[in-house]
Amino acid sequence: MSIIEKLNAIEINPTELCNLTCSFCPRAYDYPNQNLHMTPETAKIIRSHVDELGFTGRVAIVGKGEPTLAKHFEEITNIFSENRTYTLLLTSNGKWLFDKYPHIFEKYDYVRYDVYDTAYDPNGNSKQRINALRHRKRLEKKFPNIYIQFKPDYGWDHERTYCLDTRAGSIGEKVEPSPNPCTLPQRRLLIDWNGDYNLCCHDWKHKLVFGNVREETIVEYINHNQTLIHYRETLMKPNSRRCLTPCSECPAG
């Protein structure tokens, strides 16, 4: 299988703004909430690269902020939704999604709604369970392509808080890196709001930049970017993370 064929997801971060500070997210610590947004021009460049690739995997509007807060969210949605060969996914915390953008559901193959509110917990007390059940039923009836995940945030120290991960050294105590190889840079590509190619979605602390969509197309980046190739090849070996930033602090994978 070629390296291009191994790529199954292109993740796009349309904004650096979020309207929550979940306890398990670097945003609850020192990650800045910034009014920075992808322009339609950048989105069009990425779209042309995706088309050149003939991509049939997943394009996800996701990233390190809440996508629906992106200044050009609707335009970016239109750029990626028209005449596509790939699956289009949106991830949202729902805060603006239902009030401002209920009409965009039809432009995505599926919309992942992460519910962080502790009022809804399928594993909680009877009231929380009923809330979760009703919420799911109501939304699934209205939006057939919604995929709901309940991730109640009870606080970083609470054993029932969902999704505890150090985000490659961005949160919590320093941990030992996993001894396992990491295939993430082969399978997924992360593009930041300004078109920068980043290492991966776990790297919140350093946000390593390996290039930009204005300098290299996705095809060129995957096949020829020497920094990416170095990470990809090194991470294929067991116990290799110690010599790479931020992988030396990453327990993921």
From the CB of 239, what's the least distance to ligand SF4, in Å?
A: 12
Helices (H), the chain: 3-6, 40-53, 73-81, 97-100, 126-142, 184-187, 218-224, 226-234
Residue numbers 166-225 binding ligand SF4 by CB under 6 A:
168, 182, 184-185, 199-200, 202-203
Q: CB 94 → ligand SF4: shortest distance, Å?
A: 9
Closer by beta carbon to ligand SF4, 44 or else 208: 208
Binding string, residues 96-135; x marks residues near ligand SF4 by CB under 6 A: ----------------------------------------
Smallest separation, CB 202 to ligand SF4 (Å): 4
> Could you tell me the smallest distance in angstroms from the CB atom of residue 3 to ligand SF4?
15
Q: Which of 7, 10, 25, 38 binds ligand SF4 (CB under 6 A)?
A: 25
Q: For strands 196-198 and 188-191, give the pairing.
A: antiparallel
Q: What is the DSSP string of 126-190?
A: HHHHHHHHHHHHHHHHH-TTEEEEE-----TT-TT-S----TTTTSSS--PPPSS---HHHHEEE
Piece of 62-70, 121-129, 137-145, 188-196 that binds ligand SF4 (CB under 6 A): 62-70
- By CB under 6 A, is residue 228 in contact with ligand SF4? no
Q: Closest approach of Cβ 48 to ligand SF4, in Å?
A: 26
Q: Residue 154 Cβ, how far from ligand SF4 at the closest point, in Å?
A: 14
Rounded Cα distance, 146 and 83, in Å: 21
Considering only 14, 67, 195, 246, the residue that binds ligand SF4 (CB under 6 A) is 246
Q: How far is CA 66 from CA 34, 107, 210, 222, in A?
A: 11, 18, 23, 27
Dihedral of alpha carbons 64, 70, 74, 75, sign? negative
Binding of residue 20 to ligand SF4 (CB under 6 A)? yes
Residue 149 phi/psi, 5-degree rounding, is: -125, 120
Tokens of 116: 């962080």
Site residue total, ligand SF4 (CB under 6 A): 25
Q: Helices 73-81 & 40-53, crossing angle to 10 degrees?
A: 20
Rounded CA-CA distance 65/67 in Å is: 6
By CB under 6 A, name the one of 7, 10, 18, 90 that touches ligand SF4. 18
Contacts to ligand SF4 by CB under 6 A: 18, 20-22, 25, 27, 64-66, 93, 168, 182, 184-185, 199-200, 202-203, 235, 241, 246-247, 250, 252-253
